Structure 1
């Protein structure tokens, strides 16, 4: 087993610890102590537990235990003062609190900051009922109806996520299983959920049939199954019935009033909603042409349904990707257009977490209205604490407000809610930037490298890699990242850097980042 955390990899089969590409020599007892703490990271480990596990119950002094703990911390870049990874709880014991990813065997020199292929996380179950809604199978002969099936899953996921008694995996992670034959037990391990909802949609003429089944991922047992038939005019009522049945199966204590509050129709127009779903599919392709197509689709959805709050929020969000990647110049006219979309999303979506989170982030990043944007994102989190997107956007808000510790906590929450998210690069690059603000340049470079695994051209991550390596004194790696960044965005300069970066509460944060990029080779 290999445990990956920050820029470290602990290989229990080879009994090796690596930090970055470096093999760290540690005594056998220190290795065993690290292994024991990481394997038991879900709870506090007492001194007696450690003595029994490492010294097999032999009598050892307090000094010996403290010495081994200090050596373990030093080996992984932690310290007794920071306690960033190994935390001491007075009169209780110790706990490994770092974010850990697990990979099976082998791996050679692969480490947490460059593991080759990203490992599938083996996640512990949350302390409340947890569920992932997998993509529904389209049983219609028309492949265009994939969008309809995807929309059904999106709405069911959204409705379930409003229940604070449930832990709901975000849509982007669930949809990585689309078109694949899956083992629900494996899905449960990879997403860290106890239950999986599977289903199918058959749409013919003006009728629709939705089937669903709830599966226990630990045993593979079917806990619930049902079928719903109706006309297209009743499709959202059918969705609500599916949602009610699933919630009733896994959380019978949830009151009917909560179920009623969770019933939401994002739009009365199926045509507009289909356009919205297609826009999302384009948005997540992360390139200039796809971003332009997504913007067009969201605008068409708005034309068909002028009260579609989330479509306005997504239309505003297209400007975020354009600014972050230099797709076109963000002129005052473009900012005004984006602001109109965002404000309309807020007006129409006062209780719509996605509308608030997307429009808030766009106002913050594109219009540099930091406080208004941060307030809207906090409102979104109050409405839906299961929104990985809102937590991720909120992490960036905390970065720009100069609160990197809080940012890291928000990104961790986002990544836990959606472990295999299509937008995971944003979460990881945000974590990298938070570490940069804290002066943890090695950790920042490590997270930037992880962000670049899925998308080697992610410009925010390239900027963070360049600046972090430069500040850590690794000129060659800094220049390499900068060379790729300048290929993608040749007009980027120190003088126009503020046009690409977000708002800053503290000018010294911007100044240090600019200095890192300057050292990496970004011209004035």
Structure 2
């Protein structure tokens, strides 16, 4: 050490390791390696955003160093949230989950950046004490972040760990019980502040049957309750896209409520009883766990369409007695009777969720939607989704543009609205498709109608905000987009929406905000090359060319066939011209 090759300093160490790596590799080696690459990207993004430095990512482990315990804990929380998002659609037995340990202590740092010492070893031992998907920290970390993190620390007592001569006191961070303001900068906030006005989320109803038709009925009832509650003034209602993320999730009511930022939770179950269907539902005050109201409804299977009216009345009468005078209009959504059509529709959505935004995924999704319409020509939602994916594919360069393609998309959107003009979801997708194809005024009009039907439709809010921005109303459009993302905080589309928001922020001259949003987007979806392109453009605007070059390299690593012409198509000619020197330099 006399030669100056080492220096001793205080640092926070984050150590992470994958649970069940050998089992996953044995089951599907190729898929596991691909998932591990995605996980590493999530870690790298959140470590860098929180001013940390990756030391090593050998095998299935991650080691990083931070100047502060606050940064290390923020990165750990955001990483776990991001990792959970990318495996949401993966079967439970194939999900990649990491344990994370964080310690604050002395380390020896070499001139090449590597670190050694008990500080590193203790972090690794704490990681071993964590649950899969969890975080365990030392007493030093817990003390350092006290007052800066509103969270529950579960004292695990003093632990005797390997190769450490003294016991280490450990604390487990209570999952789902966290509010970390600084992590909101990267968009992966584990907890969301509960608003002042009544806020509510309707969870997917449990299905107590193997009959797939009962499953579709259960989802339909929950969706209709959401639509009915959205018509009542005074409520902040969480979008279906976020609340339905918690299907089959191992979390209690209070944890779910904190993650969604709501006071009340509606849950229920559907059980077949011969030719009858029994629906049980209850309203729970999340903070206390007290059941405020419960109801049981029975009906013949062919008379279930009116059940949601009674359920919604019971919920509203308990939350706001004065609202019982309001007429609760029955919202009937047209759904295809053919289960196969729904199967194709869901496979279409799954293609994007599992494969990301690329030519193959778009082609598969469009093919499945076309098949759904062939099976059931009255399936308006499938037509609207087809129109939207076609428009997005064209605008991002994933589908070659042509007048025939545009005509097909417009026809699909118009047919969808004729078939199901009362569906907020159909109007939201169709209106967005038309706006994306250049019919901004008509698209905005349709999106407004969508929100009149269902004010909680997050997709319609985001699309309307983007349309306003395209019409030159940048500030209003940006705020509308932010609102849509706020009311659906667990939405799987947040990565894509965040990229679009970042584009408009950069156009508005708000480069720092655009950079923050682009990095958030990349953290939410590590396969989204568009976010990395926008990150490069924002960094270049800020004069940080070296970082911009790295971000562009990351985009081209994700999408090897990316071209400047494609960037001009997806981001605009100005951004393409801005990053051209980086392209040539790379």
Within 2, Cα distance between the matches of 1:427 and 1:435?
A: 12
Structure with greater strand percent: 2
Give yes or no for contact 1:431–1:447 (8 Å, CA) kept in 2: yes
Give yes or no for contact 2:333–2:422 (8 Å, CA) kept in 1: no
Determine the structure 1 residue equivalent to 2:242: 173
Asked if 1:118 is matched to 2:188, the reply is yes
Asked if 1:194 is matched to 2:269, the reply is no
Paired residues for 1:211-250 under 5 Å: 211-250=280-319
Determine the structure 2 residue equivalent to 1:450: 520
Within 2, Cα distance between the matches of 1:522 and 1:374?
A: 39
Asked if 1:517 is matched to 2:579, the reply is yes
Match 1:435 to one of 505, 515, 524: 505
Determine the structure 2 residue equivalent to 1:341: 412
Within 2, Cα distance between the matches of 1:111 and 1:139?
A: 41
Distance 1:112 1:221, change over 3 A: closer
Distance 1:112 1:399, change over 3 A: farther
Paired residues for 1:97-496 under 5 Å: 104=151, 112=183, 118-127=188-197, 129-142=198-211, 146-203=215-272, 207-254=276-323, 258-260=327-329, 262-267=330-335, 269=337, 271=339, 272=341, 276=345, 279-285=348-354, 286-288=356-358, 289-323=360-394, 326-365=397-436, 367-496=437-566
Q: Deviations over 1:128-154 (max 9, x none)?
A: x22101122221135786455334323
Distance 1:259 1:313, change over 3 A: same
Instruction: Measure how far apart 1:269 and its partner are.
Output: 2.4
RMSD of aligned residue pairs (Cα, Å): 3.6
Give yes or no for contact 1:140–1:204 (8 Å, CA) kept in 2: no
Number of aligned residue pairs: give it: 421
Instruction: Measure how far apart 1:455 and its partner are.
Output: 0.8
Q: Deviations over 1:99-128 (max 9, x none)?
A: xx9764999xx965876x93313313242x
Within 1, Cα distance between the matches of 2:348 and 2:229?
A: 22
Structure 1 stretch displaced more, 334-343 or 202-211? 202-211
Runs (5+) with no aligned partner, structure 1? 22-100, 502-509
Question: What TM-score do you get using the length of structure 1 for normalisation?
Answer: 0.70
Q: Deviations over 1:36-89 (max 9, x none)?
A: xxxxxxxxxxxxxxxxxxxxxxxxxxxxxxxxxxxxxxxxxxxxxxxxxxxxxx
Distance 1:215 1:270, change over 3 A: farther
Within 2, Cα distance between the matches of 1:239 and 1:229?
A: 12
- Secondary structure of the corresponding residue to residue 555 of structure 2: helix
Distance 1:228 1:113, change over 3 A: closer
Q: Deviations over 1:340-359 (max 9, x none)?
A: 11111233344432222211
Instruction: Measure how far apart 1:475 and its partner are.
Output: 1.7
Within 1, Cα distance between the matches of 2:426 and 2:268?
A: 27
Give yes or no for contact 1:102–1:121 (8 Å, CA) kept in 2: no
Q: Deviations over 1:483-514 (max 9, x none)?
A: 2323444454344545435xxxxxxxx44323
Give yes or no for contact 1:151–1:277 (8 Å, CA) kept in 2: no
Within 1, Cα distance between the matches of 2:293 and 2:579?
A: 55
Within 1, Cα distance between the matches of 2:305 and 2:364?
A: 27
Distance 1:267 1:147, change over 3 A: closer
Within 1, Cα distance between the matches of 2:429 and 2:397?
A: 19
Instruction: Measure how far apart 1:332 and its partner are.
Output: 2.3
Instruction: Measure how far apart 1:174 and its partner are.
Output: 0.9
- Secondary structure of the corresponding residue to residue 386 of structure 1: coil
Determine the structure 2 residue equivalent to 1:40: none
